[in-house]
Amino acid sequence: MTAPKILAFAGSARTDSFNKKLVKIAAVGATAAGAEVTYLDFRELPLPLYDQDLEAAEGLSENVLKLKGLMKTHQGFLIACPEYNSSITPLLKNAIDWASRPEPGEPPMALTCFRDKVAALMSASPGGLGGLRGLGHVRSILESIGVLVLPDQKAISSAYQVFNEDGNLKDEKQQADIHNLGNKLATILTKLI
C-alpha cells in the first residue's frame, strides 16, 4: 500500500509562530499513522503579492511553481491558520491565490493544486477564541476550490502561554487533539488512495 503524502504548513511566516508549532504537532500524528509528511515554511518560499498584471508580464515565478509542484504531489494538507482581524492571513490567502493560477497548458479553472485534496484545519491565537473565526473563512475558500475539508478542527486559545519550550502543548488533551487531527487525515487518505 502506498503511504499518503501530506503537506503541512502554517499561514504565518513569523519565526516563533504558534501556528508553525501547532502544525508540526499534527504532522507527528500524521506520520505516526503512516503518512509521508513534508513541512513547508513560507518564510523559505517567498511569493510576490498576487497581481494579474505581474502574472501576465512574467508568468508564474519559480517559487510559485515550487509551491504548485509540492501541492500537486501531496494528497492532503495540514494547515494551521492564524486569524487576522477575524479572517484568513494575507500570507495564506496569497499562497492559495497563486496556487490556483493555471500553468501553461492547463485550463483556466483546472485548480490542479486543490481538486480532490483533503485538508485538516487548526489554529492557535493569543485571543479567547483561538483563531476560530478565521477557520471558517479558510474552510469556505478551500471548499469552493475543490478541497474536501474534514469537519474536525481545533482552535487553541491563549497561545502565548500554552506551549512548552520544546514546541509541544502543555495540556495533554490539547496535544492529543492536535496529534489526532494529523492522524485522522492520514487515516482517511489511506482509505481513499
The enclosing domain of 142 has a CATH number of 3.40.50.360
pLDDT for the residue 130: 95
The mean pLDDT of 123-134, rounded to a whole number, is 95
DSSP string computed for 6-40: EEEEES---TT-HHHHHHHHHHHHHHHTT-EEEEE
Tell me 73's DSSP state.
T
pLDDT (average), residues 72-93: 97
How many domains does the structure of the chain reveal? 1
pLDDT of residue 193: 87
Residue 1 has pLDDT above 90, yes or no: no
146 Rama sector, left if φ>0, alpha if ψ -120 to 50, beta otherwise: left
Poorest-pLDDT segment among 105-109, 114-118, 121-125, 178-182: 105-109
Distances (CA, A) of 182 to 115, 161, 191: 20, 23, 15
Cβ atoms of 74 and 109 within 8 Å: the answer is no
- Looking at the predicted structure, is the pLDDT value of residue 100 above 90? yes
Domain boundaries, position 34: 5-192
Q: How far apart are CA 66 and CA 95, in angstroms?
A: 11
End-to-end CA distance of the chain: 9
